[in-house]
Amino acid sequence: MQQNSPMSLEETIDITAISQLVVRERESRDLCMWNRMASCFFADSYVDISWFQGNGKDFVKGSKDMYERGMRAKHRLGPVLVTLNGTKAVATLSGIIDIPDEIDGVEVTLSAHCLMLYKVEKRDGVWGLMSFGAIYRRDEFISAIPGQSIDLPKDTLKSYRPSYRNLSYSLSLKGYEPSNDLPGEDRPETVTAVMEEVFGWAGLAVPD
């Protein structure tokens, strides 16, 4: 589908279905609807984010485990932009991941800003997720009670990537080993690479 060209009824239906699929996957994660979340992914899907690399079904299991460990993330989602190419599509949306935590007795919320990317495919008339990833932008800790502050280990934080430094630290406190090689705006070449890979998979050029 050409950008800004009139959409057919079928394209409109497909874009609506894909947008709902993406929102359904994220809402299911927030509401602990694990079976519904799993139904969004094809069996051969792949997820590559800060704390997990593997197939979609295992990602759901890992998300449930993360919730049980006490990392109860919620997502603030922007509008979903869908780029179609036949039975394949790319869906992107800006989002903020909010994770409440307590550090040294201070209640805080970690807010991680990112661009979420999905590869989506239509099989037997049904759209499903083939991949889920993110481009990390920045993050911060915000105290739940204004005026309170936390003293974080500066040397440890310097060992993490600037685009998702605080997220990496928060994950490490819960026993995760966050990847240091994810796409992030502190390394523009990683953003270019993932955009070319995702859009190329759908037979599309990266928008310029």
Q: Is residue 206 part of a domain?
A: no
Q: Over 80: is that where the pLDDT of 5 sits?
A: no
Report yes or no on 3 lying in a domain.
no
Alpha helices in the chain (DSSP H): 9-30, 34-38, 56-69, 154-158, 165-173, 188-201
Q: Is the pTM of this model over 0.85?
A: yes
Q: Residue 115 maps to which CATH number?
A: 3.10.450.50
pLDDT(151) > 70: yes
Asked if the structure places residue 13 within a domain, the reply is yes
- The secondary structure of 14-53 as a DSSP string is HHHHHHHHHHHHHHHHHTT-HHHHHTTEEEEEEEE-SS-E
Whether residue 53 lies inside any domain: the answer is yes
Q: Is the pLDDT of residue 2 over 90?
A: no
Q: What is the pLDDT of residue 95?
A: 98
Residue 2 domain-assigned (yes or no) = no
Tokens linked to 43: 């069996």
Number of other CB atoms surrounding residue 158 within 10 Å: 9
- Read off the pLDDT of residues 26-41 as tens digits, 9 standing for 90 and up: 999 999 999 999 999 9
Query: According to the model, what pLDDT value does residue 3 have?
Result: 59
pLDDT in tens, 68-121: 998 999 999 999 999 999 999 999 999 999 999 999 899 999 999 999 999 999
Q: Could you list the residue range(s) of the whole structural domain that residue 120 is in? A: 9-201
For residue 6, name the pLDDT band (cuts at 50, 70, 90). Answer: confident
Q: Specify the higher pLDDT residue, 9 or 2.
A: 9
pLDDT of residue 32: 98
In a domain, 134, yes or no: yes
Percentage of residues in the chain having pLDDT higher than 90: 90
Q: Is residue 151 part of a domain?
A: yes
> In this predicted structure, what is the pLDDT of residue 190?
98
Domains in the chain, number: 1
The neighbouring-strand residues paired with 113 are 96, 138
Give domain status of residue 124, yes or no: yes
Average pLDDT value over all residues in the chain: 95
Bridge-based pairing state of the strands 126-143 and 41-48: parallel
Q: Among candidates 93, 100, 95, 92, which has minimal Cα distance to 113?
A: 95
Predicted confidence at residue 7, as pLDDT, reads 84
